[in-house]
Amino acid sequence: MANISSASGKITLKGDWTQEAIAALELVLDMWEFYGEYGIQSYDGFDEEHLTSYFFGCGRWSFSGTLDSFEDWTRDWLKEKPKRPNGELIHSLTEEQYENFLKIMCENHLVIEMDFEDVEEGCGVHIHEIGQFTSGDGSCISYKIMECEDIVPSWDDYETEALDEAVDFFENFLSDVNRKKLRKWVKNNVTPTDIFEDTDDYWEIIEYFGDCGEDPFIEFFLKFSPDTEEWEELNGFYEEMWGCPVEENIDEGYGEDFDFYDEDDDDDDDDEDRDVNTWDTEPQYPLDEIDSMEISGSAFVLTGDFQNCDGDRDEVKKMIEAKGGRCTGAVSGKTNYLVLGDFGSAGAKKIDQVMEQRAKGKDVKIIAEYDLFRFL
């Protein structure tokens, strides 16, 4: 069974879209739900004044790949005329209406722009993509990716409990452990996930990382030499799944070039744990001064402990989204503002991500929570 990806973002109509063109598009969009399987599951309405609509969609393996299949799927559905269990047609679009839609797209050089984040949790895929639907000759519609970049997950994107549960999981395999060192290893070597909160089933966890194309158990074995009965139990499941125990699945020389294999790193300061926005130290970065802010259409990343909304960042996100902005979990080239909570504990990794984007010429501003709420 294919893994399901979920996407959310906005549809922007570019060009001279008349009400007739919008009406033709909405008939097609209703079909593109594809009966709740893959496609655009929901969207806001359009009109000639507002040519942007927020949407939610899902895809087979990736939403991007699903968009590329819309032309073929539309033709198939027009031909097969699928029905609901009660015998009603799933959609009302006719071939004549679809051909008229393609003709309008072609003759008026209209563009449907898709700007979204796509997440497929089974394989750990998280991307930001901008693509466009066009109809060059009026015979079909085609999708072209204009921009696409990976969004690297961070433990800062999860509640503290997710990391704590991950550390607890690996601690079970060690009879003598320095929890601080183990926590550092988990942050640096285990893909951020909340699976350790959801289950303690060894088979399920091993399978999860296998689906992600990763194997933290080899790295863990090399670093810590686990020695408990719990480790033997997990290793039994590992052997059943992969055909050999962890220690026999290590290629010669594996790990020599990795930080986790270097025993000298145990006494290093944990850069990931440093608080870059505490009250008793000077900030290690400049906050940007802003005199104005256009929230609508801007992308925000929140980090640290917030004073407003009783510290509930989800409520802050809702306030931003209510004014037309959007919030993401990690900094990318499309981010406009990184907002640091006024109560400190901002994620150092996100600061580093801003600096990386600035080095690429991107204008990503670092602002305080106070400045954000001046304009909310």
The residues spanned by each domain of the chain are 4-150, 156-272, 274-375
CA-nearest of 238, 324, 337 to 10 is 324
Average pLDDT for 190-195: 86
- At 222-269, the pLDDT tens digits run 999 999 999 999 999 999 988 899 988 876 444 444 444 344 444 444
* Residues with Cβ within 8 Å of residue 252, at least 6 apart in sequence: none
For the whole model, what pTM was predicted?
A: 0.51
Measure Cα distances from 244 to 178, 204, 218 in Å.
Answer: 29, 17, 12
Q: Supply 338's token pair.
A: 């990184």
Domain 274-375: what homologous superfamily? BRCT domain (3.40.50.10190)
Average pLDDT for 3-32: 90
pLDDT band at 37 (very low <50, low <70, confident <90, very high): low
Strand order in the sheet with 125-134: 39-43, 52-60, 4-14, 111-120, 125-134, 142-150
- At 133-146, the pLDDT tens digits run 999 999 999 999 99
Residue 351: phi and psi, rounded to 5, are -60, -45
pLDDT given for residue 14 in this prediction: 94
Query: Can you tell me which residue has the tokens 């609509």?
Result: 53
pLDDT given for residue 96 in this prediction: 95
Which of 35 and 360 is assigned the larger pLDDT?
Answer: 360
Helix (H, G, I), strand (E, B) or coil at 142: strand
* Residues with Cβ within 8 Å of residue 348, at least 6 apart in sequence: 271, 272, 274, 275, 276
Instruction: Output the average pLDDT for the chain.
Output: 82
Helix (H, G, I), strand (E, B) or coil at 203: helix
Which of 40 and 261 is assigned the larger pLDDT?
Answer: 40
| pLDDT of residue 103 exceeding 90 | yes
- At 305-352, the pLDDT tens digits run 788 887 788 889 989 999 999 887 778 888 899 998 876 666 677 787
pLDDT given for residue 124 in this prediction: 57
